[in-house]
């Protein structure tokens, strides 16, 4: 199915299902996806082999964000959120930590009501500078689609070996000061069944959520085009049943369909 890429370093504001009016920051190439995951549901499509386009440097990002926030302030259209998203995993940018510092400073100066958020797959949390940078943001939104290695391998398709145990360990280091995001999906991939809502799968995921104890769990399903046309949305009723598993532990949730 058709997918899309963000063609600017700073884009929007766009309407986000979970963040409201969101001004996006894309630290990745504008002509291709660049990520250490290759999720089968990613709206940006597949990772492509070959020469990688240069990443925007710190100065370029800072200048682009300052210009856009100044423009939006003049028009009275400041965003609810300033979000690191874009065409892949933002934390793999070599200047990510410094760019977060710049972003927080510009937010404080030009748009103090905006929340600085990051959409991340949590794979770079082993690096202290990345973890500390994420803790400086208002909304560190970190992915955990499964607590099972084989399901992570099937759905997220990490470029390098990524284990659930390691992801959960790093997420626990946030001491609850993070938002956990899980995409639930069903269908097939190359003829292999895909479904991270099976009871035994959910049992392990629920246990992991209880260990991490995030301040919020975002439960959602596909809403845009995906690289595969063999994936399907999870019905809202089923998402609400999954939500009940988390609410009974006193952990807030947000369901988006």
Model confidence pLDDT, tens digit, residues 217-240: 999 999 888 888 899 999 999 999
Residue at 1 is within a domain? no
Looking at residue 30, its pLDDT comes to 85
Q: What are the pLDDT digits (tens) for 80-99?
A: 999 999 889 999 999 999 99
Residue at 5 is within a domain? no
Looking at residue 3, its pLDDT comes to 63
Looking at residue 6, its pLDDT comes to 74
Average pLDDT over the chain reads 93
Residue at 2 is within a domain? no
**Confidence class of residue 2 from pLDDT cuts 50, 70 and 90?**
very low
Average of per-residue pLDDT across 66-75? 96
Residue at 43 is within a domain? yes
For the chain, the domain total comes to 1
Average of per-residue pLDDT across 21-26? 95
The parent domain of residue 115 ranges over 10-256
CA distance 144 to 123: 10
Residue at 132 is within a domain? yes
Which CATH number goes with the domain that contains 75?
A: 3.20.20.70
Q: DSSP per residue over the chain, as a string?
A: -------SSEEEEEEETTTEEEEEE--S-SSS-B-S---TT-TT-----SPPPPPPPHHHHHHHHHHHHHHHHHHT---SEEEE-SSB-GGGSTTHHHHHHHHHHHHHHH-TTSEEEEEE-STTTTSHHHHHHHHTSSEEEEE---SSHHHHHHHT--SS---HHHHHHHHHTTTT-SEEEEEE-EEEETTEEEETTSHHHHHHHHHHHHHH--SEEEEEE--S--S-SSEEPPPHHHHHHHHHHHHTTT--EEEE-
Question: pTM score, two decimals?
Answer: 0.93
Residue at 164 is within a domain? yes
Q: What are the pLDDT digits (tens) for 159-192?
A: 888 999 999 999 999 999 999 999 999 999 988 9
Residue at 247 is within a domain? yes
**Confidence class of residue 50 from pLDDT cuts 50, 70 and 90?**
low
Looking at residue 31, its pLDDT comes to 80
Q: What are the pLDDT digits (tens) for 98-157?
A: 999 999 999 999 999 999 999 999 999 999 999 999 999 999 999 999 999 999 999 999
Looking at residue 52, its pLDDT comes to 66
Looking at residue 54, its pLDDT comes to 85
Residue at 3 is within a domain? no
Looking at residue 78, its pLDDT comes to 95
Average of per-residue pLDDT across 26-48? 88
């Amino acid at each position: 199915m058709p997918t899309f890429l963000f063609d600017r370093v700073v884009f929007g504001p766009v309407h986000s299902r979970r963040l409201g009016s969101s001004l996006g920051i894309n630290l990745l190439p504008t002509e291709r996806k660049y990520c250490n995951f290759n999720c089968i549901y990613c709206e940006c499509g597949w990772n492509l082999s070959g020469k990688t386009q240069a990443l925007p440097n710190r100065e370029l990002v800072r200048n682009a964000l300052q210009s856009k926030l100044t423009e939006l302030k003049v028009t009275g259209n400041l965003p609810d959120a300033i979000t690191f998203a874009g065409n892949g995993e933002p934390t793999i940018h070599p200047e990510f930590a410094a760019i977060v510092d710049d972003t927080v400073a510009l937010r404080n100066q030009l748009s103090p009501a905006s929340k600085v958020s990051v959409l991340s797959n949590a794979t770079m949390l082993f690096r202290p500078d990345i973890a500390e940078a994420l803790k400086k943001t208002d909304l560190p939104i970190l992915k955990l689609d499964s607590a099972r290695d084989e399901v992570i391998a099937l759905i997220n398709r990490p470029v390098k070996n990524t284990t659930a145990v390691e992801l959960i360990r790093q997420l626990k280091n946030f001491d609850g000061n993070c938002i956990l995001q899980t995409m639930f999906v069903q269908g097939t991939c190359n003829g292999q069944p895909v479904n991270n809502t099976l009871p035994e799968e959910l049992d392990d995921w629920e246990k992991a959520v209880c260990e991490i104890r995030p301040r919020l769990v975002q439960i959602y399903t596909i809403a845009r085009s995906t690289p595969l046309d063999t994936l399907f949305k999870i019905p809202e009723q089923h998402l609400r049943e999954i939500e009940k598993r988390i609410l009974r532990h006193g952990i807030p949730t947000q369901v988006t369909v």
